[in-house]
Structure 1
Amino acid sequence: MRRQHFAELLEELAPRRELARESALEALRGGPRKRAEGAGRKPKLVFIDRLLVTLVHLRLGLPHQALAVLYRVDRSTVSSAVRQVRAMLADRGFAVPDRPGVRIRTLEDLFAYAYAYAYAEAEDVTVCIEGTEVQVRRPQAGRPGRKPFVSGKKRQNTMKSTTLSDHQGRVLFYGAIRPGRIHDQTCVRSEGIAEQFHQHPTVKAEVDEGYRGLTNEFPGQVTTANTLTR
């Protein structure tokens, strides 16, 4: 990412983050602030560092613990920053390579764009669907809904998200965030992805074994990794 692009992104997101933070604090206090702006506990990571940490994590896949060591903070601080900024980036939408002005914010947007592109270019479009898990702090003992966060695959407390990218690995959608115990396929089905395949038959997908059910339901559109290697 160029410095100018980073500066523009920072200028766009910083006011939104500050407004959201002040709104949350006002709701917590039950009224407007009583102390001067800037008083109180200072954040361990200012917003520019939070944005940079998130972009590095998304681009290079560095673990939260490694980033925490670099910034000399606790891992939970980095995890909180990535969770907050990642949601802001998702709300902002994903840019489409070589398509200035196009923004994808929902699965419906992605499938509609891929379908329109396939129609315009007279060729099928293939997207890659992948589920990822991020370790989260273990919910307090005795709190209702604690078990859904325990991932059977990771053997730890996680949150699961779904990423859709193009054939070059460029992310076009990130969402369908659910507790780690929920199956990958359930995450995307709850977002209505099966209906999108019905509505857009020219859009195809490559998936891993976690989405075997989609392959069985849409044999002409969804292909698993094992099928690809045969």
Structure 2
Amino acid sequence: MTINSDSIAYYPLFANLTGKACAIVGGGAVAERKAASLLEAGALVTVISPACSAQMESWVQQGKLALVREGYRAGMSAVAQATLVFAATDSYEINESIRLEAESLGKLVTVADHTAGSGFIVPAVVRRGRLLIAVSTGGASPAVAKKIKQELEHTFGSEYEDYLDLLQELRLLIQSLVGNTVVRQHVFKLMLEWDLIGFIRLGHLKAAWKRELFDRVTQTPTLDGMVRIGLWIQGHLH
């Protein structure tokens, strides 16, 4: 059945692939990019290809991924056991065979350069620690998605990794100090008004300053206290 990609309404989803088996058929540059992102996500990656890139060979030697040094054929266990399947060969016919088998097994499969025939698509991604921003044009223009990704990388620099780690610590502290759920939510909103990003960008997130911040929060975990802490932070930026 022919699918019109213009009619597809994609459902955005962040998947936990830690410890999940994923199969990539193909050993070139596209397959390498897929493998890199899957390894970063903690997936158990198996590549099926008679030959693969130098980088993937290095990952095999390091024990980071498994390599089946064969061409694709129907009935391979790596495909049958995979949570996600990536068809990334340079042959349309082979990719189509992979897609048909994977779909018959109830697998989600993505096909390189064939968005409409894929069960899912992989977006362009900006990762800053806990912050994960995904961009997709639904296959209309990967170049535009890449351009937007580059703009986001400039806007959301490496400081956001420290920022979100700090907010997570503060959130846990507030949860331990403030029992009232409504008040706690207002406290969280006031915390977002603090210019912690400015502090981090100036290199001020030192151990002593961080300890003082946590001491102030612990001493006055109230709405008025959060406002005063915000003013204190602002005063240190000038």
TM-score (ref. length: structure 1): 0.22
Larger radius of gyration: 2
TM-score (ref. length: structure 2): 0.21
User: Higher strand proportion, which one?
Assistant: 1
